[in-house]
Structure 1
């Protein structure tokens, strides 16, 4: 649907996406958030950026979109990385944030990503872009753990903790307000009784 304001200014609606055009050239667009529970995926790429790895990760996440409402956030370290993602995903809508404290890139990126998740998110899966490849079945097990109400869910393989980690939305404010010197290890210690392990 097109809404013509005048001869130069047009608003185009495509499903949940709204595009503003001036003289036929898009200058701003956004996508309406679904008012239904969704699962957030925060891809942490501020420390080791690779558009190829991010593309591979998103491909795995997107394979689940027929079953779940997905909320994808990518955290990078600079404008150059952001521009690269716009080139790689010219027609896709993903939230890309620039981490604001690179002296502590990991936890700063986590906080940056949590701030950007959908208000309808029931939990977030933290994915480090430099870790080994993901599989849809691992993500589905973590999603199921979030839906069950588990506060923290960690995959286990051969009796060892592995990647990625999932957090319930009940911990979002805790993470956002935590001092950088404490980080994820502090949360895992504090809530160790609330950790559930997912066998993979």
Structure 2
């Protein structure tokens, strides 16, 4: 099955107050950027696209080590929607599904695979992970709504608008992991995410 994953790594990360790119933060012994790439490549999705923008030069050499398409979004300052559209335009024409994830939202290949399986089994248009009643990320979209995805913009809240439009054609996929909730926007978020991930790993190993 051909599916596309779009990894967004073009943002400016202003809230992190970092001296370097958010993708260079450490996660499970490697950079967050490489962690994300490896997890996507270990998933059932075969077409991996990386969108770079802000400080792209810090990540491009790492991206080049992997069998992924790397695209520079010249309009990255206009917001996330411009990066998603860049990824959609580069997606394999035969992709049945499109996953959108961000460099600051740690993923796991098993979660991605569960989303793909659920979408195939139910034929719904959007698959969203859910943990203890709370929706998270990444989100998987069917090729059938590709034309809608290409029209997203910041004014209409991007992907949220798509989720509202197709609210009756969403499959919520139960995931027993708090990873789906992690969003690393501030230094505090990063510290909390590392702690939470370590705690979850200990529990899973017992």
Corresponding position: 1:62 with 2:41 = yes
Instruction: Report the 3-state secondary structure (helix = DSSP H, G, I; strand = E; otherwise coil) of the residue aligned with 2:76.
Output: coil
Gaps of 5+ in 2: 14-20, 25-30, 176-206
Higher Cα radius of gyration? 1
Instruction: Report the 3-state secondary structure (helix = DSSP H, G, I; strand = E; otherwise coil) of the residue aligned with 1:155.
Output: strand
In structure 2, distance between residues paired with 1:145 and 1:164 = 14
Partner of residue 150, structure 1: 124
Runs of 4+ displaced beyond 6 Å? none
Corresponding position: 1:74 with 2:50 = yes
Describe how 1:19-30 pairs up with structure 2 within 5 A.
Answer: none
1:18-58 CA-partner distances (Å, limit 9, x unpaired): xxxxxxxxxxxxxxxxxxx4111110111144152121011
Corresponding position: 1:102 with 2:81 = no
- Per residue, is there more strand in 1 or in 2? 1
Q: Is the Cα–Cα contact under 8 Å of residues 82 and 153 in structure 2 kept in the other structure?
A: no
Describe how 1:1-200 pairs up with structure 2 within 5 A.
Answer: 37-47=1-11, 48=13, 49=21, 50-51=23-24, 52-64=31-43, 68=44, 70-78=46-54, 80-81=55-56, 83-131=57-105, 133-148=106-121, 149-182=123-156, 183-200=158-175
Compute the displacement of 1:69 (Å).
Answer: 5.3
In structure 2, distance between residues paired with 1:90 and 1:101 = 22
TM-score calculated relative to the size of structure 1? 0.71
Which gives a bigger RCO, structure 1 or 2 (Cα 8 Å, sep 6+)?
A: 2
In structure 2, distance between residues paired with 1:74 and 1:127 = 10
Q: Is the Cα–Cα contact under 8 Å of residues 150 and 194 in structure 1 kept in the other structure?
A: yes
Compute the displacement of 1:90 (Å).
Answer: 4.1
How many residue pairs get aligned? The number is: 158
